[in-house]
Structure 1
Amino acid sequence: MKFDAIILGSGQAGNPLAASLAKNGQKVAIVEKGKFGGTCVNTGCTPTKSYIASARRAFVTKNSSNHGVEVQGDVSINLKQIKKRKEEIIGESRSGIEKMLEENEQISVYRGIANFRDNHSLEVNGEVISAEKIFINTGARSRIPSEFENIHYYTNEGMLELEEIPEHLIIVGGGYIGLEFAQMFRRFGSKVSILDHGSRLMKQEDEDISEAIKDILEKEDIKIYFNAKIEEATANKTEVFINIKGSEEKISGSHLLVATGRIPNTDNLGLENTDVELDEKGYIKVNEQLQTSVRHIWALGDCNGEGAFTHTSFNDYQIVNDHLFGNSSRKLSDRFTCYAAYIDPPLARVGMNEKMIKEKGIKAEIASMPMNKISRAKEMGETEGILKIYIEAATKKILGASFLGTRADEYIHGIIDAMYAGTPYTTIRDAVHIHPTVSELIPSMLESPEKLEL
């Protein structure tokens, strides 16, 4: 079968691209080996945030006495009901995607694994399909260190299928996934231990942010082991045992979550039969329009190593779609890196942080404010965290921001918008924000930024 375009993967870039190609009269094949919707819908954003919402309800219910709200009796967690709610939310999203793809006469859906035969053709379930344009949107998966390959472990996917609360959850990895699951299951009632091979959590963040996150988690009785180099991991039918190098301590728990990063799903595509180039980590190399080293093959989403978030995957679609059907004005380098870690309170980031600015030797200023100085945060009883904004001294434009605090994932967008507009920080400084809100203090903190010492 010959198509105008073939898309590998029905993730956050592949689905809208299939719809756009079809709308523009092209005959499209989309290949999906798993469930429609990719990681975000099935095992990432949608299910984990529904669990986090349940965990927060439990936490607030148990910790409202100082607000004058007292709960009589125990608060119980029904993980089966939490899972059922998650499945209902996922099912609604997945069925909508499936309906869109399968009911479009211009789109042919193939369920199976695709392997490249050459630069223009692939084999799926024994059938060869070809196209003048091919789009790879195959995502990424959990990276599993060799120490854990021979014992029972969970990834984020398996944790979302549990129906009983773990007695003691051991988490290897102090990144976003590990910390979200740590706090979530602690609030569900599990004892939680985090093992991180480094000296601090979220090592890509500024040190004060990492320290504040550690304090937040430790206040909820989450045990954290730093510089935890795994010497041996063993298990029996009911228990997991982990030895840390240089320590006589053996940590044991009922469940093990391995959250040590992600690797791209590029190793089973048959790319060795093409001229598509990969980097040393297996990510597909792309140019400003997401084209690979083969001009008629594009790579979008997590497999290209240029974002690894749902919003960056969708923006990849926007860039490619503009390149195909627009004025080709969008490009990868226009994008500011931004993301959130959905611990409670959340961490939200955009652009550069203090570490990056100092490494580049940029003359900059910093405006900061602790959350415990903000009236709205005090009123809500959620005063943990800090707000930090970085300004380039020469241009007065915002270089980036790190917000750790209640609702930070929402009001960070005011900073993001200002950065895309290219406006100086004084635009926000001179704006009038609504009282009482957390974000009303952002103009105030920008009144007197201080020199950032290099």
Structure 2
Amino acid sequence: MTSTHYDVIVIGTSQGGRFLPIEFARAGRKVALIERDHMGGVCVNVGCTPTKTMVASARLAYQARRGAEYGVHTGPISVDLQAVRQRKQGMVEGARLNYESRLTELQGLGLDLLLGEAHFLAPKTLEVSLQDGGTREITAPLIVIDTGARPEPLTIKGAERVPVLNSTTIIELDTLPEHLFILGGGYIGLEFGQMFRRFGSQVTIIQSRPRLLMNEDEDVSKEVAKILREEGITVLTGAMPQQVESLGEGRMQLTVHTPQGEQQLIGSHLLAATGRVPNTEALTPEAAGIHLDQAGYIQVNERLETNVSGIYALGDVKGGPAFTHVSYDDYRILRTNLLEHGSASTRDRLVPHTIFIDPQLGRVGLTENEARKQGRTIRVAKLPMNAVPRALETGEMRGFMKAIVDAETQHILGCAILGVEGGEIMTIIQVAMMGNLPYTALRDGIFTHPTLAEGLNSLFMTLDS
């Protein structure tokens, strides 16, 4: 088979991989971009864009039901899940077309788009099985892998005999589940749990670990569970699913071992949200000599290079925090180093995240637990959201602000903001951390009254009381 030689090959089109080939092509490099599914990767097609669009619909339904609290009276609230799905799909198609239009201008000018699945034949040689039939063999001295990850399959007894939803398939439902079981107490399970409860489903979240959101401090996890239970969601922690069986007529029985004993739960739908696995098998990385970790993620150094010189990986496929903004920062690192001859790295980068439950949970830096494990001398600032005037005025008083401060330097080490627009408030603190500002800068800063940001004055004043 005759090989086509390129300067650069990029496999996958997620947040990082979709921009990098454009930059290389504009720099005059001959680039092959390979995509086996939809353009834009997980975020655009089955992740951030569709789910946050649906979260917005769920929040509106929730707010409408609260209208009487604000003196606004409406009729009965119902949710048309088909219309929610159509709105979601419109957002996805718009985002996808936006990216495809950027590629169009570069095709024929140094960028070739190959629709198909790639696998390694040798360290710098790939074979692509094209969607329209046939194969192509291509080579390049520089290869970037951006194949992402997918939902981990459910392996409990009986799972193969009942319909099991995952984060990709659940957003395609057009009828509302009567009773949705969710296995997993991480951010994916919680976002979908609250969403479908607000749409009108009965929801039970089954978490095998002792509490929800195990990476957060215990007080944060406890408050999140309280908020979900207040909305009518059943939360079972320390609960291990044993088996599931069909009862016919759209019903199933889930057997769960809990601290209180074995329980049989009857429901209509089952969502597995217990984790994700990397898309590396089809790549045959062993043919290139690429090292993987025990979970199958590609191992990279702080410059995102694998053990094979000239082969890099970015985004979820390399492990670590599985966030779109991490993938985008990976792209910036590779752009800086490979195109601008810089020396960017992942070392000590500050990675924030926001969980889009309502109220949001925004977090960056160290948790209180992490700081204490490191032996740091810290001070903890904490303020309930009902002490923030803007939260009171808008009736959004659930949650709290929490910040961890180094007792010696007065620098902020991290924060968790569980409250209305928690991700936005967290970002203000993140910027202060990036600038190495002491907590007093936010304590004494002049913020517009009444805004949520003004609550930062009060949060950091608690350290002086």
Q: Amino acid of the residue matched to residue 173 of structure 1?
A: G
Shift of 1:236: 4.3
Give yes or no for contact 2:257–2:263 (8 Å, CA) kept in 1. no
Amino acid at match of 2:188: I
Tell me the equivalent position of 1:189.
200
SS at match of 1:449: helix
- The 5-angstrom pairing of residues 7-406 of structure 1 reads 7-72=10-75, 74-104=76-106, 105-125=109-129, 126-147=135-156, 148-237=159-248, 238-245=250-257, 247-406=261-420
User: When the two structures are superposed, what TM-score results if normalisation uses the length of structure 1?
Assistant: 0.96
After TM superposition, what 4+ stretches of structure 1 lie above 6 angstroms from structure 2? none
Amino acid at match of 1:398: I
Give the structure 1 partner of residue 453 of structure 2: 439
Determine the C-alpha separation between the residues in 2 that align with 1:386 and 1:63.
21
Residue identity over aligned pairs, in percent, reads 39
> Within 1, Cα distance between the matches of 2:410 and 2:309?
39
The amino acid across from 1:187 in the alignment is: R
The one-letter amino acid of 1:118's match is A
Q: What code does the residue aligned with 1:421 have?
A: G
| Distance across 1 between alignment mates of 2:462 and 2:254 | 50
For residues 307 and 395 of structure 2, what CA distance do their matches in structure 1 show?
53
Aligned mates of 2:299, 2:411 — CA distance in 1: 31
The secondary structure found in structure 2 opposite 1:14 is coil
Aligned residue type for 1:244: V
> Does 2:418 align with 1:415?
no
Amino acid at match of 2:357: I
Q: Are the aligned partners of 2:161 and 2:246 in contact in 1 as well (CA < 8 Å)? A: no
Q: Deviations over 1:205-240 (max 9, x none)?
A: 111111111111111110111211122111244122
In 2, Cα distance between equivalents of 1:422 and 1:326: 27
Gap runs ≥5 in structure 2:
130-134
Contact 1:366 1:450 in 2 (8 A): no
Per-residue deviation, 1:347? 0.3
- Aligned residue for 1:124, secondary structure, equals strand
Indicate the SS of the match to 1:86: helix
What secondary structure does 1:204 align onto? coil
The separation in 1 between residues aligned to 2:291 and 2:448, in whole angstroms, is 51
Secondary structure at the aligned position of 1:40 is classed as helix
Find the residue that maps to 1:117 and give its secondary structure: strand
The answer as to whether partners of 1:26 and 1:106 remain within 8 angstroms in 2 is yes
Partner-residue secondary structure (3-state), 1:245: strand
Q: Is the 8 A contact 1:102 1:109 kept in 2?
A: no
For the aligned residues, what is the CA RMSD? 1.4
Distance in 2, Cα, partners of 1:150 & 1:308 = 30
SS at match of 2:138: strand
Instruction: Tell me how far apart the structure 1 counterparts of residues 232 and 442 of structure 2 sit (CA, whole Å).
Output: 39
Check if 1:430 corresponds to 2:432: no
What amino acid does structure 1 have at the position aligned with 2:201?
S
TM-score, structure 2 normalization: 0.94
Cα–Cα, structure 1 residues 395 and 326, in superposed 2: closer, same or farther, change >3 Å? Answer: farther
Cα deviations by residue, 1:397-420 (Å, 9 ceiling, x for unpaired): 111000000011112111111111
Aligned partner letter, 1:211: K
Q: 1:398 to 1:7 in 2, by over 3 A?
A: same
Q: Structure 1: how far apart are the matches of 2:184 and 2:435?
A: 37
CA contact (8 A) 1:365 1:450 kept: no
Instruction: Return 5+ residue gaps in structure 1 as ranges.
Output: none
The amino acid that maps onto 1:116 is: F
CA shift, 1:124, in A, is 0.4
Tell me if structure 2 keeps the 8 A contact 1:117–1:123.
Answer: yes
Rounded to whole Å, the distance in 2 between the matches of 1:374 and 1:81 is 36
Conservation of the 8 A alpha-carbon contact between 1:366 and 1:388: yes
The equivalent residue for 2:132 is: none
Deviation at 1:425, TM superposition (A): 2.0
Matched letter for residue 94 of structure 1: R
Q: What code does the residue aligned with 1:382 have?
A: E
1:450: how far off? 7.2
**CA shift for structure 1 position 75:** 1.2
Separation in structure 1 between the aligned mates of residue 9 and residue 411 of structure 2, nearest angstrom: 42
Distance 2:88 2:17 in 1: 23
CA positional deviation for 1:340: 0.5
